[in-house]
Chains A and B, each alone.
Chain A
Amino acid sequence: MTKTTDIDNLFAQARNSEPYLSSQGFVAGVKAGLPVGRRVSVGQETAITIAATVLGAAVAFPLFPADEIFALMPSSFSITPVGMLTASGLLSGLIYWLAEHSTSSKL
Chain B
Amino acid sequence: MKTSHRKKIKLALRYIAVVALTILFLFPIYWLFMISFKTANEIYAYPPVWWPETLQLSNYRVLFEDGDAATVGNSLIVAGVSTIFAMILGTICAYSLARFKTGGEHLANWIISQRMIPPIAIVFPVFLLYVWFGMVDTYFGLILLYTAFNLPYVIWMMRGYIMDIPISLEQAALVDGYTRWQVVWKVVFPMCRAGLFATAIFTFVFAWNDFIFALVLTRTDVATYTVQVTHYFGGQSNFWGKISAMSVLGTLPIFFIVAFMQKYLVRGISLGAVKG
A and B interact physically: no
List chain B positions with a Cβ less than 8 A from chain A: none
